């Protein structure tokens, strides 16, 4: 019995030591978010991974702690993996701000979760690229609901050795008898249906698709059919970008939709085969993220402080380089550590931008202005995505 007691004592001690180690770390301001700064403000951020880094991933990646120090707002960060999660979490009212992509922003607005932005309080607003402001995905009826954060295009990436001739059309990923069967990839989200619709809008004119996010019954089923035809060729769908990067590096994927940051990652790896990323002849879909403030927020002051902070040139440069996207604040272009960064990401390239169809939440009321038909709402897109992926 004595030995047992001793063993328990040893174990208990270890646990206590472990906890002591831990709590000594959590008493530091960075990780706990409970101290530092002078004010008593609070802020709860809902963000894509990589948008609001507080040093919990890596000590060197941290622009939340300096914000806490500067603003006095104690900040907690919750990340989400998909726009659906973002929408659902933001709806709980526990978060003051969210970095919303276009495929969730309108839903939040219509749901009454997002507040109208007082642009006068956004000190950086004038510096943000004009082509990102007051767009379909961050404004409704002329009211601004989102402050642009950054954007990127969904490009077509291919392995230059394996894929010949080099593709120029999205047709390459939708081909029925693809020679690259099992090595094609696509973005894992219902919003990817828009990629098929965009392709059809240029190749099947009789469908009359003018906006890939505004699809009536017939247009929608054509897009869904195309994706079902594509499914057998898909090796893996991706939603976290390391997965795709790894696939291209190792050669298990050779063709599919991508983001600039992934392409950069593949190119940076010396062991990778040569890859190229293009905007095909049909154009591309794209994402543009905006910061939105919750209607239920009790910390509106801190929310605006955060928006001013995250859209300021130096922080924009940090986020953009860490995440790999075009910054919304063009003044950030002079502050990036890579001087060509904004060129690589086409941050100031209006012509590039005009080829893009930015993610917008599909709603039953057609976004392209048609009033004689009902369009497919996002919940129908999700049901169709079940059907495409589950089959």
Smallest gap, in angstroms, from Cβ of residue 364 to other proteins?
4
Using CA of residue 224, residue 140, residue 346, residue 67, what is the dihedral sign?
A: negative
Smallest gap, in angstroms, from Cβ of residue 237 to other proteins?
6
> 50 or 72: whose CB is closer to other proteins?
50
Residues 13-32 that bind other proteins (CB under 8 A): 14-15, 18-19, 21-23, 25-26, 28, 30-31
The DSSP string of 130-173 is: GGGTT-TTTEETTEE--EEEEEEE-EEEEETTTS-SPP-STHHH
Q: Is 181 in the site for other proteins (CB under 8 A)?
A: no
Q: Is 308 helix (H, G, I), strand (E, B) or coil?
A: helix
> 4 or 351: whose CB is closer to other proteins?
4
The residue from 120, 176, 271, 351 that contacts other proteins (CB under 8 A) is 271
> 206 or 369: whose CB is closer to other proteins?
369
As a whole number of angstroms, the distance between CA 210 and CA 222 comes to 14
The residue from 142, 165, 369, 390 that contacts other proteins (CB under 8 A) is 390
The residue from 68, 195, 246, 325 that contacts other proteins (CB under 8 A) is 246
Scanning the structure block, which residue is given the tokens 């075009």? 326
Q: Is 72 in the site for other proteins (CB under 8 A)?
A: no
10 Å CB burial of residue 149 (0-12, 13-18, 19+) is buried
As a whole number of angstroms, the distance between CA 371 and CA 374 comes to 7
Q: What are phi and psi of 17, to 5 degrees?
A: -60, -45
> 18 or 166: whose CB is closer to other proteins?
18
Q: Is 58 in the site for other proteins (CB under 8 A)?
A: yes
Using CA of residue 210, residue 213, residue 216, residue 222, what is the dihedral sign?
A: positive
Residues 308-337 that bind other proteins (CB under 8 A): none
Residues 76-135 that bind other proteins (CB under 8 A): 76-79, 81-82, 84-85, 87-89, 92, 94-95, 106-107, 109-111
Q: Is 37 in the site for other proteins (CB under 8 A)?
A: no
**Residue whose C-alpha is closest to residue 45's, from 304, 282, 277:** 304
């Amino acid at each position: 019995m004595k030995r047992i007691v001793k063993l328990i004592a040893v174990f208990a001690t270890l646990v206590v030591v472990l906890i002591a180690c831990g709590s000594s770390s959590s008493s530091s301001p960075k990780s706990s978010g409970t101290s530092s700064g002078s004010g008593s403000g609070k802020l709860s951020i809902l963000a894509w991974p990589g948008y609001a880094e507080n040093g919990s991933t890596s000590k060197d990646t941290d622009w939340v702690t300096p914000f806490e120090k500067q603003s006095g707002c104690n900040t907690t960060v919750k990340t989400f993996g998909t726009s659906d999660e973002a929408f659902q979490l933001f709806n709980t009212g526990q978060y003051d701000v969210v970095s919303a992509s276009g495929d969730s922003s309108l839903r939040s607005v219509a749901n009454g979760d997002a507040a109208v932005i007082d642009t006068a309080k956004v000190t950086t607003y004038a510096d943000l690229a004009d082509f990102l402001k007051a767009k379909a995905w961050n404004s409704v009826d002329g009211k601004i609901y989102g402050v642009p954060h950054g954007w990127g295009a969904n490009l077509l990436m291919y392995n230059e050795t394996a894929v010949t001739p080099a593709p120029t059309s999205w047709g390459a990923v939708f081909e029925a008898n693809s020679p690259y069967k099992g090595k094609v990839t696509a973005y894992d989200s219902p919003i990817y249906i828009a990629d098929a619709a965009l392709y059809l809008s240029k190749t099947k004119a009789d469908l009359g698709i003018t906006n890939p996010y505004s699809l009536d019954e017939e247009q929608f089923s054509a897009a869904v059919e195309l994706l079902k035809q594509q499914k057998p060729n898909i090796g893996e769908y991706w939603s976290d970008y390391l997965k795709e990067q790894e696939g291209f590096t190792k050669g298990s994927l050779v063709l599919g939709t991508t983001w600039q940051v992934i392409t950069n990652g593949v190119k940076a790896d010396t062991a990778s085969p040569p890859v190229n990323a293009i905007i095909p002849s049909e154009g591309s879909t794209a994402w543009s993220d905006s910061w939105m403030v919750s209607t239920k927020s009790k910390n509106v002051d801190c929310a605006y402080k955060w928006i001013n902070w995250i859209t300021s040139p130096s922080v924009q440069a940090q986020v953009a380089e860490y995440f790999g996207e075009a910054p919304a604040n063009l003044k950030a272009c002079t502050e990036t550590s890579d001087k060509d960064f904004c060129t690589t990401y086409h941050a100031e390239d209006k012509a590039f931008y005009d080829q893009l169809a930015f993610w917008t939440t599909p709603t039953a009321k057609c976004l392209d202005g048609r009033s004689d038909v009902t369009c497919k709402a996002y919940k129908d897109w999700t049901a169709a995505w079940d059907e495409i992926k589950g089959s």
